[in-house]
Chain A
Amino acid sequence: MKDFFSKLIIFIMLLPLIPLMLWPFIASWRWPQLIPLFGDARGFKHFFSAGSNSINILLFSILLSIIVTIITLAIALPAAKAIAFYSFKGKNIIKTVILLPVIVPMVAVSMGIHVSFIYLGLANNCIGVILIHLIPGLPYAVRILLNSFLLIGDDIATQGKNLGANSLQVLWYITLPLIMPGVIAASTMVYIISFSQYFITFLIGGGRVVTFSMLMFPLIQRGERVLASTYSIVFLASILLVVIVADKVIKGFFNDSNFLV
């Protein structure tokens, strides 16, 4: 019964994807046609055509979001660990500040940041875009990793130290492998958030940094169903691919049997 319901829920969630899957292949579907007229998948032709530059933008976007994910995790890991295990002054304030971007609208935040970025010369370039992309994902990453750290506790790392491991060895051989599920969940989340950003990329990048979601936006706005759904499928497929590959790579990397002798 439970199994049936979970299948039902998955089905309902996937339902809207069906027309999305169909649209790229439809030539015309006007009233009173009951069955659409299938065509030559011109969406994909457009996507792969040399002039569109879509593939390059896609690859650039993937790279950008991967960089954002790596930097976010590099910040979130020590932050989450500190919040989980150390007591220090202002811990609660830091916890709140880190969560703030979830509560305060990103638009409001970015407007302010944009002004500062112009002064700092970070507007209209990739570095600025990467920096602004760190903000929406960070709260989620810290939250997820904080829970992972609390789950494994501090004692097991201390035990490793007691057996003679230095801090780096403890991190590498014990802590990271143990919080790996959290790391994967956090990176997936951060990657998707970054990859889906439209407004802040446009604002800070000034239209000069073009990501894949910026490419999609006008297509959707103009009601170009065939092109919009083609690009949406590519969008989804690319995320799926990156997430699966990342999962495999990270898991394979932190498999204990790879380590030491």
Chain B
Amino acid sequence: MADIKLISAYKRYDTESVLNGVSIHVNNGEYISLIGASGCGKTTTLKIIAGLIKACSGQVLFNNVNASKLSENKSRAVIVDQNVLLFPHMTVERNINFGLRIRRVSKEKIKEKTEKLLEMIQLSEHKNKFPSELSGGQMQRVAIARAMAIEPEVLLLDEPFSKLDVSLREDMRKFIKEVHENHKITIIMVTHDKEEAFLMSDRVAFMDNGKIEQYDTPENIYKRPNSMKVARFFGHCNFIEGTIENSVFTSKLGTYSVDEKKEGKVTMLIRSEQIKIVREGEQNATGIVTDYRYAGEKSYLKLDSNGVTLGIHTTEDIKYRLRDTIHIKIDYKKGVLLW
């Protein structure tokens, strides 16, 4: 177990700058997710933490000790690559204990540990099979066991679910959660699935363009995003432009008293689910339907409300027609001010 700090990591390849000052602090035993669009530098960040590539500048600290001062061979952080990368010429068993064998651990110890790990991933009967004879989920589990065998302080999971069928992901999530809890290991997981990040981790770091935009608990990331970029990534949003004067927010949709001392132009984020369709009389705004899409468990609507376009969704099974006028209630209390 270890507490890890990555301090202002910069990385560029030839002409392309991939990381523009990434800093992240992961507590001992924490489970965090790195999330962001493809190509934003997530894998690069993991590889720098694992010491597999060198940052152009910046530091990695394990328990406040510079990683470059620690012997590289200790593999304090082990990556489970997004392509799994089992050794195709070794059996499941020998894949798992590869790290132990090269360390010349005693035969008995290797045997004991391998058996335990095989049990953990429930592949004891398959220990003599080769990777090509396994299913995607089984391969993924072998890769995790192989990493766990050398007892790293940090497990780095690079998109561990992306190659799995949806039906397998649930099992895999449970399995990884169990590994995390039973072994009290620090985990950094890369994903581009926001639900997965929220479900699995204590904290989520949202990356964009080689920078961490926000690093916080799932709840804070969703409810208190610090920019439009973050807000947009994690859910359907409406941005209402307005001004605040004397603690009153004024926009084309009307006025609302806010608990805010600052004054001036501001954008208020209202999530789609914070606008409800209500009966006449209960509304604080009205809108004309400009678009309606049925998506099964919910329907998506676009409204024009006094010149402001609002996107909302409803789970009620009512069919709306274009140009219908509907009454809505905007839950300003949950609105987030983005200056």
Contact with B along A250-261 (1 / 0, CB 8 A): 000000110111
The answer to whether B78 and A256 have CB atoms under 8 Å apart is: no
CA distance A261 to B88 in the complex (A): 19
Partner of B52, one of A156, A162, A165, A259: A162
Is A200 an interface residue when CB atoms closer than 8 A count as contact?
no
Partner of B98, one of A155, A163, A177: A163
The answer to whether B94 and A163 have CB atoms under 8 Å apart is: no
Interface residues of B, CB < 8 Å — how many? Answer: 26
CA distance A159 to B81 in the complex (A): 8
The answer to whether B150 and A163 have CB atoms under 8 Å apart is: yes
CA distance A156 to B78 in the complex (A): 13
CA distance A169 to B72 in the complex (A): 14
With CB as the reference atom, state the residue of chain A lying closest to B13.
Answer: A87
The answer to whether B87 and A164 have CB atoms under 8 Å apart is: no
Given the known interface contacts A155-B85, A261-B101, A261-B110, the answer about A162 and B79 at a Cβ–Cβ threshold of 8 Å is yes
Q: Report B71-130 residues with CB < 8 Å from chain A CB.
A: 73-75, 78-79, 81, 83, 85, 87-91, 94, 98-99, 101-103, 107, 110
The answer to whether A162 and B75 have CB atoms under 8 Å apart is: yes
Given the known interface contacts A261-B107, A261-B110, the answer about A163 and B85 at a Cβ–Cβ threshold of 8 Å is no
Partner of A163, one of B83, B91, B99, B110: B99
Q: Which residues of A contact B (CB under 8 A)?
A: 155-156, 158-166, 169, 173-174, 177-178, 256-257, 259-261
What is the predominant secondary structure among interface residues of chain A facing chain B?
helix
The answer to whether A162 and B102 have CB atoms under 8 Å apart is: no
Given the known interface contacts A256-B94, A261-B107, A261-B110, the answer about A166 and B85 at a Cβ–Cβ threshold of 8 Å is no
Cβ–Cβ < 8 Å partners of A177 in chain B: 89
Cβ–Cβ < 8 Å partners of B75 in chain A: 162-164
Is B146 an interface residue when CB atoms closer than 8 A count as contact?
yes
CA distance A257 to B130 in the complex (A): 12
The answer to whether A163 and B52 have CB atoms under 8 Å apart is: no
Is B1 an interface residue when CB atoms closer than 8 A count as contact?
no
Cβ–Cβ < 8 Å partners of B240 in chain A: none
The answer to whether A260 and B101 have CB atoms under 8 Å apart is: yes
Partner of B79, one of A159, A166, A173, A178: A159
> Distance in Å from the Cβ of B79 to the closest Cβ of chain A?
6
The answer to whether B102 and A169 have CB atoms under 8 Å apart is: yes
CA distance A173 to B97 in the complex (A): 13
Cβ–Cβ < 8 Å partners of B110 in chain A: 261
